[in-house]
Each structure stands twice: as structure tokens, then as C-alpha cells.
Chain A
Amino acid sequence: MNLLTVTDLTKKYKDFKAVNSISFSIPKGEIFALIGPNGAGKSTTLKIIATILQPTSGKITLENKDFKNMRDDVRKMITYLPEEAGAYKNMKGIDYLNFMAQLYSTSKAEATEAIKFARELSDLGNKLRDKISTYSKGMTRKLLLARALMSKPKLAILDEPTSGLDVINALHIRRTIKQMSKLGMTVLLSSHNMLEIEFLSDRVAIIDKGEIIEIGEPNELMKKHNAKNLEEVFSNLTQKQNE
């Protein structure tokens, strides 16, 4: 059973086709990754699925809910971590989590549960009592990630989730994402870190100039392209494209 189905998705900015007729589907509980060079159209795709942008053409459904007319229902099932995101600087970390938990949950108990989970996830400890304006880049990222995962969404859309994090923190986050996916959360993410993709994702789509040029399980792709790792697959494919 596919949770998300994307069919012939195209996005134009004025005359420029940032995403060109891409199709893919993600079964429930899968971690699906988009990889590709800068400007390939990864973030644009994620923004459309996060209901932030509207597609120029194509069809998207989440659990049979069409994005055309059921955006409000869709928003209840997803969370989105933008690639470049901030938090309200005058809030304390804990206030931010509180605020978001209230917006996402339907009961007080649910909100309390979410906040408790987010506190662990963020790993910020006493720093949660400080204003967000004092946070480092990585600390803010951890807070936002905790926010994105705390409501245990059906689909988590994470645009370069671990960018800016140190090795240890990135590892912690990856483990958490993997754990949550085992519990049934579906993940759509993008990344430039091939090790991360190999560790995390069940399937990857390589996207270049707005088109999906390859899609499959990491091991499969390495075999098919006779490569030692995903990095090689990536550079082989994207360079070929540019010739």
C-alpha cells in the first residue's frame, strides 16, 4: 500500500522548469531519499509535497487524499523540515516546542507526550530554557528536527535533515529517524551525504535538472552501475548527464 504517490509532477518558475514530469511512490514505513546536484529540483519537489508550493501540473495523493482539494487534510498527516529554517528568536526552545505541540495535537495529553518526546530528541537539555537567539546553527537544527518528529506524523518531509550537525549529533538523528520508520513513520528526505543515504534509506531517486534519472534500492543501484558506493553511482550518472 503506497502512502504517497506522485505522478508526472512538473513545477515551473515563470518559464524555468525546476521539476520536469517526475513520478514516484513511497510505501508506508519506507525511507525514501532524493539525491542530486545543487539546483536539481529536490527542495522544490519537497516543498510541493509539503503543500508550500503548488504544482504546475501532475497529481499527488497521500493516503488517497488528493493534494488539489484536500490540502488541509494532508497537512494533518505531514510535517516538513525546510532546508533553511529558523525558529522564533524571542522564544525559549521549550516555548517553541510547546507552541508547536499545541498546534499539532488534538488533546492536552497528546501535547504533553509530544513535548516529552521532543525534549529527548532535541538533546538540548537545559539549553531549552535559553532563548533561541542564543542558539548555534546546529542547536537550532536539532530543535527544528525535534519539532518535525515530535508529532509522529504519517509522512515526515526532511530537506537535508542533518546539515550543519556534527558527526555525533547526526548519528543520533539518523538512528532516531530509522527507529521511527520502523514504528511506521514514512520519511521523504533529501541529502548530499551519501553515507547517510546508504545508512538510512530503503530507496533513492537520483534527480538531475528536474528529472529522475535513476530510482531504486542503494545496493541495487551500486550493483547495476558497478560501483563500490553510492557516491560513485551518483558521480557517474550526473556527469554522464552533463556531457
Chain B
Amino acid sequence: MSKFWVLLKKEVKELLTPQMIVPFIAMVVVFMLMGNIIGNETEKQTSQKVQIVFTDNDKTPSSNTIKQSMEAAGYEITTKSSAQSHVVIPQNFESDLKAQKQPTIEIITKLDNLSIVNNVNTQRTAQIGTLINELTANIVLQSKLKPNDIAFSKQPVKISDTVKFNNKMAQITVGEIFGYLLSQSTVVPIVLFLVITLASQLVATAIASEKENKTLETLLSIPISRKSIVAAKLMASGVVSFFISILYLYGMKSYMGGLTSTATQSLDQSKVQEAIQQLGLNMGATDYALLGLSLFLGIMVALSFAFILGTFVEDIKSVQGAITPLMVMLLIPYVLTLLLDISTLALPVKMLVYAIPFTHTFTAMNNITLGRFPELYAGMAYMLVIVIVGIIVASKLFSSEKIFTFKLNFFKKSA
């Protein structure tokens, strides 16, 4: 038994190396930080009242009751144009109710952005229709009107939902639009994350394995320019990760397809498509090209950074630890863009997140659909600069002897 303990102790010691602990701690810290940011953002959003512009074309006690009850329910009635929703009560509201004819109430909702947390309010605006229906039902019941139709008393109004985006309108609910866009804008970041992670692992491993297998010295004595060696490694990793990610995408598509087909069965898919078109939220060929370009830049940034980190690594085992900084840089914008609209963050946080080159790849999809082209191009230009600097540094490192003499000592110190 004592021998077993000796063995066990050795195994645990082998496992708990700084190479494996440091990445974990880094990840925990990052998640704690992001939890903070997201928590703040959610609080900011939920503490705000949903603003509604209330147009009363009826001006009867009934329509006034609706207005007051909505205020009592926590909505802010305003005339500001920035309000998220616009409710229109038709002229013959009360008389229609009396005649037991369903009046049609129009609700126009503005779509601002496509992130989950920022749309907490969008979710609440989606409930306006239900609320108005309930309130009207109360009026009908409390009044002397004796509804002879149970169905009418349950559903006394018709709701007409309109979504407004960039001054374009479409007859559809916010929920439907949002569901559609979300299914799209969650797949893309997952693929981005996978491709970029894969590319960086490949290129760092490519260098580490040259060192581990002792082929690097021979390679560097061959009469080919160091630039060609760097370029070949970067390109190979880029191309391989691209093809693997297409495979992923293929698998993901059928997976997501399986999910959405059950979730949206009740929805009229063609109706949503038509609305998306009307709102100008669909992506054209140029949009896809821009998205592709942004992804390409993201991959290039990752490759050049991973290359730099890879030159410090001595064996394949240490690759994972060495590219942790890159993973952290990738994880932050990945999670944040999935949940928030980064452009709404507080300035210092925003600058910090924008400084991470990958942020611009993750926001590309939203920037394209929302038509924020200046932001998109600025992000791409920034990434391009980073790529150029990264590649220059990478080939400098590779051309110098540092690749042999530099070591990631802080990993080794305690070991």
C-alpha cells in the first residue's frame, strides 16, 4: 500500500505542474471578470423602465384605463422618440368593445441590437400585447357589457405587431425576429472560436514539435529564407484549420438544424424570412465576403500570436499552457459578444475589449447585420495592423537565435 502512495504522489505531482495550473487560474479570473461585466449590464438594463409611446385615438374612459393600468404595471408612458415601443389605440376602441367586435391594437417595436442581455427589454416589450389583452378583458368583464361569447371575453382585442429597424418596418413580432437572428448569431461565434483556437494550436504545435523532435536546427541551417519557413508554417496551419472548421460547420449545421426545426415548427418560417428581408437584416454576398475577410484577419492575428508564443515552447506538452494568453484573449470577446452589445459598455471596459483584436471578428456579424460599417472597417484595419506587426515580430524571433536560447522560465521556476 505504501508503494501505491509513492506512485500516487508522483502521478499527482506530474499532473499539477504550473503549465496546467496557470491556464486554469487564468480562465477562472477571466470568467469572474466577465461575470461582473455581464451582471452590471443586466442590472442596468433591468433597472430601466420600458418606455412606451401611447397614442390614444379613442380618448374614452376605457382607453384611458388601459393607459393607467400600463403605468401601474411598470411601463413608462412617454413621448420620447427613443422609446422602444409604440402602442396605438384605434378610434372606435370602446364602441367596438361594446359591439363585441375585436378592435385592433397596433404595437410597433424598435429593434436596437441583437445581443441577449441588451434585449431583456425587448423581451419585456414582447409582453405588451398580452398585457393589453388582459387589461381589456378586465374592462369587458367589469363593465355592464354582458359578453355572450366566452371567446370574445378572453380575447377582446386583436394585436397587430410591427417591428421597426432602421426606419424599415415589417409585420412580425420582436420575438420571432429575435429568435431567428439569435440562431444565426450564435452559430457564427462558435465557429470563429473553434477555427481560431485550432489554428493557434496547430501553429504553436508545429514549432514545438520541431524542437521536441530535434529537427529545428537542421531546418534552420537549410538554404531557404526564414521568411519562407515562417510563411509555410502559418499558411499550413491556416489552411488546415480552415478545412477542419468547414467540417465542424457542417456538423454544427445539422445539429442546429435539429434544434431549430423543433423550436420553430410553429413559426411560419417564410413569414420570418420575408420580414427579415423587409427590415434589411438579411446578409448579401458582399456581407458574407466581409464576414469572411474579418474571419481571415482574426485567424491571421491568432496565427502570428501563436507563432510568437510557440517559439518559447520547448515541447508539445507545454503548448497548451503557452497559448493560454491567446485563449483568454479569444474567450473574452466570444462570451461578451454572445451576451452583450459591446458598443453599449462603459468606456474604459469598452476600450479594453476593443483592444483585443478578436473582438472585431466577433462583432463583425452584428456590425454587418446592423449596418454599422464604419465600426466594421475600423476593426478590420486595426486587425490588419496587428497582423502585420505580429508577423514581423514572429519572423524576427525566428530569424534570431532566441528561438533556441529563450525559454519560458516562469513555467519552470517552481518545477
Contact = CB atoms under 8 A, between A and B. Distances in A.
Given A86-B213, A86-B215, A89-B213, A54 B401 contact: yes
Interface in B369-388: none
B289 interface: no
B215 A78 contact: no
26 contacts: A50-B221, A52-B217, A52-B221, A52-B401, A53-B405, A72-B223, A72-B225, A75-B221, A78-B221, A79-B221, A80-B217, A80-B218, A82-B217, A85-B214, A85-B217, A86-B213, A86-B214, A87-B213, A87-B215, A88-B213, A89-B213, A100-B222, A103-B223, A104-B223, A144-B218, A147-B218
B224 interface: yes
Contacts of A53: 401, 404-405
Given A53-B404, A80-B217, 13 more contacts: A51-B220, A51-B221, A52-B401, A52-B404, A53-B401, A54-B400, A80-B218, A80-B221, A81-B218, A82-B218, A85-B217, A87-B213, A144-B218
Given A54-B400, A84-B214, A13 B221 contact: no
A76 interface: yes
Given A52-B401, A53-B404, A54-B401, A82 B223 contact: no
Interface string A141-155: 000100100000000
A47 interface: yes
Contacts of A75: 221-223
A24 to B, nearest CB: 20
Nearest to B405: A13
Contact of B223 (A54, A76, A85): A76
- Which range holds the interface residue count of chain B? 10 to 19
Interface of B: 213-215, 217-218, 220-225, 400-401, 404-405
Interface in A34-77: 47, 50-54, 72, 75-76
Contacts of A47: 217
Interface in A170-210: none
Interface residues of A, number: 26
Contacts of B220: 51-52
A90 to B, nearest CB: 10
B214 A103 contact: no
Contacts of B401: 52-54
A234 B220 CA distance: 33
Contacts of B223: 72, 75-76, 103-104
Nearest to B217: A82
Contact of B224 (A84, A88, A103): A103
Contacts of A88: 213, 215
Given A52-B404, A54-B400, A82 B224 contact: no
A155 to B, nearest CB: 11
A75 B215 CA distance: 16
A170 B223 CA distance: 28
B70 to A, nearest CB: 70
B208 to A, nearest CB: 13
Interface string A104-120: 10000000000000000
A88 B223 CA distance: 18
A81 B405 CA distance: 19
A82 B213 CA distance: 12
A89 B316 CA distance: 14
A78 B220 CA distance: 12
Contacts of B214: 82, 84-86
B397 to A, nearest CB: 13
Nearest to A78: B221
A201 to B, nearest CB: 22
Contacts of B213: 86-89
Nearest to A132: B213
A100 B215 CA distance: 12
Contacts of A85: 214-215, 217-218
A54 B215 CA distance: 19
Contacts of A100: 222
Contacts of B221: 50-52, 75, 78-80
A104 B214 CA distance: 20
- B214, B217, B225 interface centre (most CB from chain A within 10 Å): B217
Contacts of B225: 72
